[in-house]
A and B are shown apart, each in its own frame.
Chain A
Amino acid sequence: MSTTRTRPPAPVPAPAPLPNPGTVLADCWTMTRRELVHWRRRPVQVVMNLTFPLMMLVMFVYFIGGGMSIDGYEDYLVPGMFALTMAFGLESTMVALTQDLNKGVIDRFRSIPMARSAVLVGRSAHDMLQSALGLVVLVLSGLLVGWRWHGSPLEVAAALGLLLWLRLAMLWVGVYLGLVAGRPEMVQAVQILVWPVAFFSNVFTSPSTMPGWMGAIADWNPMSATARAVRELFGNPVWGGGTWAAEHAWLLALAWPLLLLAVFFPLAVRRYVNMGR
């Protein structure tokens, strides 16, 4: 630091670097890295996050599946659980974001000339990485409880892609809700409300066994669309069907997340940018 100069120079013409794609990417990566360093500091939480879906899988396959004594229930349920886990990712995104926003460090991020988008993009890149890893653990757990896929490698890859596509959409719903909630109390409400959404779907049973209106909701549930589409791609049984939504599951599995993204991504970004109002 210079101590020879006692008066500052006249204001230099602004070296205001326009957001160049390289620095934006670099900032996003810096923010993703920050989250990954956190893993090192909370190994227990990381292990818990990864094993929670396994626990759910075991519970549903052996307790509920066992109780219903349906042959091959795991082949029906496991892909549904994949979709459910991806959709529930909304919660973890929301929790992490509200916790982050209540920390002072966000003030520094907002007061330095980094890419505005990096905080949210870093969050989503990290959450996608975590979910991809979670999905691998979940697939292995599925194999462990007796689930098998019968599709071609390409179909399996497409199924995994559709699952992550749903996760990405739910991620931005989570980001938006996290920004709106602001406080951890609101998170609990969402954590409870996701359960009815989960049961009004084809994850556990076929919508055709539900009362009419309930079945319709379950049919059109974004989670159902993804679940049915990946069941088809994995070559696993799909029950019921006959409705338009069921017949065009793959289309809905693409369109629903796209719609959610189209709505919640701009909402979330605007909310974040306007945080100081």
Chain B
Amino acid sequence: MTDGDAILVEGLRKEYGTKQALSGLDLTVPNGTVQGLLGPNGAGKTTAVRILSTLLRPSGGRARVAGFDVAAEPDQVRHRIGLLGQHAALDEELSGRENLEMFGRLYHLGARRAAARAGDLLERFDLAAAGRKPVSAYSGGMRRRLDLAACLIGSEHRGGPRVLFLDEPTTGLDPRGRGEVWSAVRSLVEGGTTVLLTTQYLEEADQLADDIAVLDAGRVVAQGSPDALKTRLGADRIDVVVRDPARLEAAASLVGMAARAAEVSRDTDRRLLSAPVTDRMAALAETVRALEAAGIEAEDIALRRPTLDEVFLHTTATTAPTAATATAPATKEGTA
């Protein structure tokens, strides 16, 4: 590992009984970057986060966070991380302020500094008005914001924790709450914090992550920048919207031939055909020519990169169909 790596994971394994949750996970996250961890339900995202944040012991392999081995030097790691777990890690009976003050004291800030910082964080996360209410009375979004504030209370004086783990930080939040979490994460990254983010939302990984690792059945099945992933795993596609629905089938076979694609997906509602292409320009030119020759009118013809949804479905296609339902495909497509 180099000094530039905030997280280094090598051959990490975790078994629950006979169940393999992680089967040889490898991952390197450079300092100051945001690593997205994408995967269907049960892929092992939470298990990875729990091992890296010292909550769980790995069955094999090794992991270093902020320069320290998570199994051998957990306390060193704990000084340098923040953890936003999949479920809120708060005392429901205490008020928001009491929670933050308690965690501040446990980070040994001293009572006065803990109280002052709790006040600042409540302001910053727009919770000042609810600060004295018990957390059990908070909405999901308020809880998540308080949870995030709790991640920061111990180390904000050093510019945020060195490494922040976010396990599905915006699941269950409305768009406004999601935007708030995103901007908080961005400002932390500006301050130099490294972030490991797991998510079910491809848009979220696309928005925040410098690099995405797609996890399936406990190992990385694809990795790269959002752009690189799209390029490598899905070929570019050509989309054709046909004016006359009756000509859709005829158009489909023409597009298939022109693009040299094995399959053309059809969305009859939107009169949309979509096919992967290898040679972008040739495919475009030939499609236009073939449709014109056949007298089929096209409303729109476009070349586009695949969406992350398509990448995700493609790379995790080996798992149970729950993988597909976990994602919300941006385009509705019936496959031929």
Q: Assuming A8-B31, A37-B98, A276-B57, is B192 touching A111 (CB within 8 A)?
A: no
Query: Which residues on B sit within 8 Å (CB–CB) of A17?
Result: 108
Q: B160 — which chain A residues lie within 8 A by C-beta?
A: 1
Q: Which residues of B lie under 8 Å from residue A103 when comparing CB positions?
A: 91-92
- The number of chain B residues with a CB under 8 A from chain A is 49
Minimum C-beta distance from A242 to chain B (A): 52
Complex alpha-carbon distance, A41 and B66, angstroms: 39
B316 at the interface (CB under 8 A from A): no
B89 interface residue per 8 A CB criterion: yes
A44 within 8 A of B: no
* B190 is an interface residue with CB less than 8 A from chain A: yes
In the complex, what distance in Å separates the CA atom of A116 from the CA atom of B91?
18
Q: Kindly state whether residue B234 has any CB partner on chain A within 8 Å.
A: no
Q: Which of A1, A33, A276 contacts B55 (CB 8 A)?
A: A276
Q: A96 → chain B, closest Cβ, in Å? A: 12
Pick from A41, A109, A110, A277: contact of B93, CB below 8 A: A41
Segment at the B interface, from A23-31, A65-73, A139-147, A230-238? A23-31
* Residues 254-277 of A at the B interface (beta carbon under 8 Å): 276-277
CA distance A106 to B88 in the complex (A): 10
Contact of A10 among B3, B54, B108 (CB under 8 A): B3
Chain B residues near A276 (CB, 8 Å)?
A: 50, 54-57
Q: Say whether A108 contacts B78, CB under 8 Å.
A: no
**Does A6 lie within 8 Å of B83, measured CB to CB?**
no
* Residue A154 lies at the interface, judged by CB distance under 8 Å to chain B: no
Contact A108 B83, CB 8 Å, known A6-B192, A11-B3, A34-B102: yes
- For residue A105, CB closer than 8 A to chain B, the reply is yes
Asked if residues B89 and A108 are in contact (CB atoms below 8 Å), the reply is: yes
Contact of A113 among B55, B66, B78, B93 (CB under 8 A): B78
Interface residues of A, count at CB 8 A: 39
* A111 CB contact (under 8 Å) in B76, B81, B108, B162: B81
The A188-221 residues at the B interface (CB cut-off 8 A) are none
> Can you name the residue of chain A whose Cβ is closest to the Cβ of B98?
A37
Return B329 CB to nearest CB of chain A, in Å. 31
* Contact, CB under 8 Å: B89 / A104: yes
B90 near A111 with CB under 8 A, answer: no
Assembled-state Cα–Cα distance A30/B50 (Å):
25
In the complex, the answer to whether B192 meets A5 with C-beta atoms within 8 Å is: yes
Q: Are B79 and A16 in contact (CB under 8 A)?
A: yes
Does residue A112 face the partner (Cβ distance < 8 Å to B)?
Answer: yes
Residues of A within 8 A of B54 (CB): 110-111, 276
Interface residues of B in 192-224 (CB under 8 A from A): 192-194
Determine whether B94 belongs to the interface, using a CB cutoff of 8 Å to chain A: yes
A52 to B92, CA, bound (A): 26
Tell me the minimal C-beta distance from B97 to chain A in angstroms: 11
Chain A residue with Cβ nearest B154: A112
A104 touches B87 (CB 8 A): yes
Assess whether B187 is interfacial by the CB under 8 Å rule.
yes
Interface residues of A in 60-107 (CB under 8 A from B): 103-107
Give the residues in chain B near A5, CB-CB below 8 Å: 159, 191-192
Select which of B76, B92, B187 is within 8 A of A3 by beta carbon.
B187
A1 and B83 within 8 A (CB): no
Give B301 Cβ to nearest chain A Cβ, in Å: 42
User: Which residues of the other chain, A, contact B190 by a CB distance below 8 angstroms?
Assistant: 3, 6
Task: State in angstroms the CA–CA spacing of A182 and B108 once bound together.
Answer: 29
**Is B94 a contact of A37 with CB atoms below 8 Å?**
yes
Q: Are B32 and A8 in contact (CB under 8 A)?
A: yes
Residues on A with beta carbons closer than 8 Å to the beta carbon of B134? 41
- The answer to whether A111 touches B83, judged by C-beta atoms less than 8 angstroms apart, is yes
21 residue pairs bridging A and B, Cβ less than 8 Å apart? A1-B188, A6-B32, A8-B192, A11-B3, A14-B68, A17-B108, A26-B105, A30-B105, A30-B106, A33-B102, A34-B102, A37-B94, A38-B94, A41-B94, A41-B134, A109-B106, A110-B54, A111-B53, A111-B83, A118-B106, A277-B57
Residues of A near any B CB (own CB < 8 A): 1-3, 5-11, 14-17, 23, 26-27, 30, 33-34, 37-38, 41-42, 103-114, 118, 276-277
Besides A16-B75, A276-B54, 6 other CB < 8 A contacts?
A10-B3, A30-B102, A38-B94, A109-B106, A118-B106, A276-B57
Which residues from chain B sit less than 8 Å from chain A, CB to CB? Answer: 3, 6, 31-32, 50, 53-57, 66-68, 75-76, 78-79, 81, 83, 85, 87-94, 98, 102-103, 105-108, 134, 150, 154, 156, 159-160, 162, 187-188, 190-194
Closest 6 CB pairs of A and B: A108-B89, A8-B192, A113-B78, A114-B106, A104-B89, A11-B67
